Amino acid sequence: MVVSKIKGTEKHRITYAEYMNIVLYDQEVGYYMKDKKKLGTEGDFYTSSGVHSVFGRAFAHFFLDLIEKEQLPASICEFGGGDGRFAKAVFDEWELITNNRPLHYTMIETSPYHRKEQKKLLSGKVDFRQFASLEELQESDSNDFEGIIFSNELLDAFPVHVVEKQQSNLFEVFVTIDDVGNLVEIKEICSNEQINDWLRVYGPTLKEGQRIEVPIYMNSWITSVDNFLKRGHILTIDYGYTKEDWSMPQRKDGSLRGYFKHQMINNPLEHPTEMDLTTHIHLDAYEMMMEEIGLEKLVAIKQNRFLLMIGMLKFVQENYDSNPFSEKSKLNRAVKTLITDTGMSAAFHVFLHGKNVTNSKAYRIFNDDPYQI
């Protein structure tokens, strides 16, 4: 499929953004579109929501607090909800702490497989609905959204262009095929003004020999979400680098990587359509974009510290349990994993932005050095 699409182009090469669109999102062969498990032990990668339901349960309390502070409708719109475990945990905890107050939960999920998995977990929830895209949702419901927009490890999976600085010139890296049909890279002087403009406005100054990803699609997604949101919050969780981080020698080859059966694959052209592809997002750029469209930053903090802030420790079960496989032991281990500086949460960043909000400004929390990796 990938080879045939490349052969069908005029110059027999495609951008990395086009390549990622094919291998990840093509309706027939795309990795996310296939009917197979992607998360957890049997898949290719883990997310925080897969560690334990306590992750989603803690967020249920935070969502409720935001909704009550701002007197928002009890509505959550999650982009890229994976297998639905996070939403299920939020629903279950919400019902406990609100005495079954209705919660309207909308999922925007590209993957048919994940939509199927979500239905298995959430079919009993009356106020749960699914859409394959924001456009599909807006066609079904033209009303402006008020509430909370949430995403966890969404932006890192967006298609990106790849560029490299060589001999003081900026080259774009394309994907092509060699004489024996293998996928290989080819570089040409960058003629895409969108890329040049993006780097001038948001990007770091590249050093000689440095490669980096340019997430033009992230800009359009942010604009679309801002147009969709009338009043409320955008809560984003992801991993990424600042301009200072990008300047470090260990980042000179960029961050585009694959994950195949829980192994990191440095060459993104290996296992096409069979592995996940991901990049670290540009943290400074994300904040700049949100500020440019007038959204107010309320929280910018590492995930482990954020979880402490919203009360994760209250879920810890007292009394030692000698059985490491008991529910109590599993929960306590999960909490420890999620809140420590050496656990997986320390690699993630949480951003909370508000639109037409006033009372939730009490949440203004920024780390002194929020992006120290």
pLDDT digits (tens, 9 = 90+) for 261-314: 889 999 999 999 999 999 999 999 999 999 999 999 999 999 999 999 999 999
Structural domains of the chain ordered from first start: 1-33+161-214+245-278 (no CATH), 45-157+215-239+280-373 (3.40.50.12710)
Backbone angles phi, psi at 170, to 5 degrees: -95, 120
Q: Which residue has the tokens 């994976």?
A: 82
241 in helix, strand or coil? Answer: strand
- 183-189/145-152 β-pairing: unpaired
User: For the chain, where are the alpha helices, taking DSSP H only?
Assistant: 2-7, 16-25, 54-70, 85-98, 112-122, 134-140, 193-201, 216-228, 243-246, 283-292, 303-309, 327-339
pTM: 0.92
- Nearest residue to 229 via CA among 96, 58, 110, 72: 72
pLDDT in tens, 236-262: 999 999 999 999 999 999 999 999 988
Report pLDDT for 126: 79
Phi, psi of 314 (to 5 degrees): -70, -15
Q: Supply the mean pLDDT for the chain.
A: 91
How confident is the model at residue 123, as a pLDDT? 86
For residue 372, name the pLDDT band (cuts at 50, 70, 90). very low
pLDDT on residue 272: 95
Residues 276 and 31 sit within 8 Å (Cβ to Cβ): yes
Residue 371's pLDDT is what?
Answer: 34
Determine the Cα angle at 250 with ends 244 and 251, to 5°: 55
